[in-house]
Structure 1
Amino acid sequence: METSKFRKIFRYCVYILLIAATTVIVKHFTTPEPIDTASNKDLTLFIEKAISEIDQKLKSNETRPDIATALSWHQSHAVLYNNARRNSDKVVKEQSEVLKKKILKVQAQDFPKLRKEYADSKKEILAGEHITINTSGSAEETLRFTGALFEPSGNKKKFMRDIDEIVKDLRFKRVVFQWPGKDTDSSDYEINSKDDDEI
């Protein structure tokens, strides 16, 4: 019951942050004149809120309700940082550097877990197709699929197109398709995605 209440509160916080970041961005790009002092104060408040939220996340090591919400949370902080770093106000620029450090720290903590959670969430569905899925590497950056479907004449390219967006969003670096054979053959795909220490 308490977990459900916490999830609801967290979800509302994410929604508020997304709305706030979107509002700041829209206001910035639709207003031709420079950002005024009041806008800088608003942006400063958003940055302070984001820093506080990230600190809480780092301390509690809480998990997100789902992968999509977690990705949205990270993307909203990246948007806020990118908006703040382009601002000419000295205070906002200084805060954006603090925010950057916090974002990089929480990304390094979260993305390996999110990649592992993604693979775990697909195991049951793929097992019905006689495919196993797992992650490997020190930061879970390799996604591995094993099944007869991926034999040389199989559907690797189509399968890769189907998962391309989520693989990049979760910052996997490599996808490996294996199939049963004499020596367990495989095909590797290098993924051009951001590093965990990149905003």
Structure 2
Amino acid sequence: MSARRLTLFTFLVLAAWLALFGDKTPTDRNTGEEVAALPARTAGGWSGEVSNPRRAGRPPPGSRALADLASANLEVAALIPRQQLIPAAADGQESRDLFPPLSWTPPPPLPEKSANPPPPMAPPVPFVYLGKKLEGGQWEAYLGFGEQVFIVRAGMTLAGTYQVKAVSPPTLTLIYLPLKQSQTIPIGESP
């Protein structure tokens, strides 16, 4: 065992011995003045003066007479009834059940939906408008789809599911082919 470990072990044993067998009595330095320096209660309330037990002719701190004097001056505060602190649910106030009963029975079935489901709708247009140009008296628009860019004119088919019906500012009209529904993309006014 090294000298350092031996020193640390010695200090550990010394600390354990002091913790178990050391003197645990309080010192007399501060016990008298702080404990007895409480304001006195008068008939009208608490007085603002603080009395010193040694000057007032009281017994010295730590004596049995001081303990008897302190216990004679203690007053017990009146207890407030539980019903006043925590009103019952019968008093017109709604109580919250913190532990409601649980049931394993399945919930009642939901009411049946109407016989006519809503008609299918075309998905939102997946194309992003990038710009337009008037070329040879006919408008063409630039649409983005992911990383692809399409130059579209009236009558073209895009991605196999959309057909361009018309390119006329301020809108571009597309037809969603599976449902034959018309959709528009705003492209701005012509200059």
TM-score range, shorter chain: under 0.3
Would you tell me which structure has more strand in proportion to its own residues?
2
Q: Which has the higher contact order (CA 8 A, sep 6+)?
A: 1
Q: Which one has the largest radius of gyration?
A: 2
Compute the TM-score of the two structures, normalised by the length of structure 1: 0.20
Compute the TM-score of the two structures, normalised by the length of structure 2: 0.20
